[in-house]
Chain A
Amino acid sequence: MARTVIPFGPQHPVLPEPIHLKLELEDEKVIGVMPVIGYVHRGIEKAAELNTFRQNINLMDRICGICSFIHSLTYCQGIESLIGVEVPARARFLRVFWSELSRAHSHLLWLGLLADAMGFESLFMQCWRAREMVLDISEMTAGHRIIQASCTIGGVRRDMDEEMVREVEKRLIALRQLVDSSIHGVFLHDPTIRQRTAGKGVLSKDQAEVLGAVGHVARASGVAVDMRQTGYAAYGELGFEPVVETGCDSHARVVVRTRELYQSIDLMRRSLTAMPDGRILIRVDGYPVGETVSRCEQPRGEVIYYLKGNGTNHLERLKIRTPTFANIPPLLAMMPGCELADAPVIALSIDPCISCTER
């Protein structure tokens, strides 16, 4: 049978960011995929060498609009380990709170986009309505809706008083009720969602391990890998178990993310309850010397920062490996054998963040 090559992206209605996939087809069946990246490269790693290491905190915030807090957190943890600083306990709990707030924001955004990709507009609107509640909490606690700029070297920049904690608790309960009443059940049981996702984009456990899948892609294939298990920030004190599903398909990825949404709301409430009194920031003197690797769990998976300091105000090297970059090889293994009509939903099921990938 004659083979056709169809370009998917870089401009496509389901893609929020530009990635180009060359789909090789036999009739309507995808038999091969070739990714092309490089459309939003911004030279951030080079800029990080030219900026001072303190200016970089705000630059790291801007690598990605969705996981911005966790980018700056990973960077700050790396610098703190190079300088040898112990972060105050209250700051560590606040870092968990904002990390989980970013995760709830990202998961709701992605669930909405996935519903939109399969033409389910009303569910998309409902997810983004819930996301708006998360953004309100972000604005109330950190001062900005998306790029919070609340993490810094030695702690965090904003504290929360008791009145604000009570207000946030109230809003988190309302968010949970909204997710319960109109989002969770639909993603789990609705026949439209099941037909478009169940059995589509299958990635076996062995493939996930061999290809180095991270985040929800790995966890939906039964691999219990989550950087929060390492206990960074205050995850060690709060106790954490990763959400794992064994369905191995796009539906399992949806289920992992809806369950993680509940887990994030729960972690936020527990971190606010367990947060001790005390300082949120300590003074940090000195310059980073030596090299280190800092790892955190972003909404999309594990992010790795390699930092090399030479005792000056500027870093010698900063290398960032983002989760979407690690999840592109698994995507290429998921696609062959699928129908062309399923390609957009499978591509979106890894939650591709191209701004992160290309930096």
Chain B
Amino acid sequence: MPWMLPTILRNLLSRPVTRRYPFDDVREPFAGYKGRIDFDADRCDLCGDCARVCPSLAIEVTLESRQITYDPFKCIYCATCVEICLPRAIGQDRRYTKPALSKGVETIEVPV
């Protein structure tokens, strides 16, 4: 205890290190944070590379109906699909994925 006492006193008299979540805002994620996956349907050429490399099988590409099905609850946010996509149709921004009340898949229609 005696060796810890100076730190305890310093911490007692200084500002808190933690944030009062959810009353205070959390800090912004760093620039390279692997957050939410977004599909840009206009750029997609339906090649299906993303579905082939996805380690958790969260993406399905159906050529006939021109649809991409993405399951955010299967996704592990590893960014493999973002790196493989040649037309840069998959983006990942630094928003945290929020908790949800119900599970569902996202369907993206790719225009002709």
Contacts and interface: CB of A to CB of B under 8 A. Distances in A.
**A, B bound:** yes
Interface of A: 51, 54-55, 57-59, 120, 122-123, 126, 129, 136, 139-144, 147, 149, 157-158, 181-182, 185-186, 189-192
Given A149-B79, A186-B3, A191-B1, A144 B34 contact: yes
Contacts of A144: 33-34, 77
Sorted nearest first, the 7 A-B pairs with minimum C-beta distance are: A143-B34, A182-B7, A149-B78, A190-B3, A58-B55, A140-B30, A55-B55
A54 B78 CA distance: 13
B3 A185 contact: yes
A357 B11 CA distance: 38
A174 B29 CA distance: 20
18 contacts: A54-B53, A58-B78, A122-B7, A122-B8, A139-B29, A139-B33, A140-B30, A140-B31, A142-B32, A143-B32, A149-B76, A158-B32, A182-B4, A182-B6, A190-B1, A190-B3, A191-B1, A192-B1
What is the predominant secondary structure among interface residues of chain B facing chain A?
A: loop
Interface string B17-39: 10000000000011111100000
Interface string B72-104: 000011110001000000000000000000000
A126 B5 CA distance: 12
Contacts of B111: none
Contact of A191 (B2, B29, B30): B2
A185 to B, nearest CB: 5
B62 interface: no
Contacts of B17: 129
B100 to A, nearest CB: 20
A141 B32 contact: yes
Given A55-B55, A192-B1, A126 B30 contact: no
B107 interface: no
A186 B79 contact: no
A121 to B, nearest CB: 10
Given A143-B34, A186-B7, 10 more contacts: A51-B55, A58-B78, A129-B17, A140-B31, A149-B78, A157-B79, A158-B32, A181-B7, A189-B3, A190-B3
Nearest to B7: A182
Contacts of B55: 51, 54-55, 57-59
Nearest to B32: A143
Contacts of B83: 157
A264 to B, nearest CB: 21
Pick the most buried of B34, B78, B83: most chain A CB atoms within 10 A of its CB: B78
A140 B31 CA distance: 7
Nearest to A142: B32
A53 to B, nearest CB: 11
A43 to B, nearest CB: 16
A147 B76 CA distance: 10
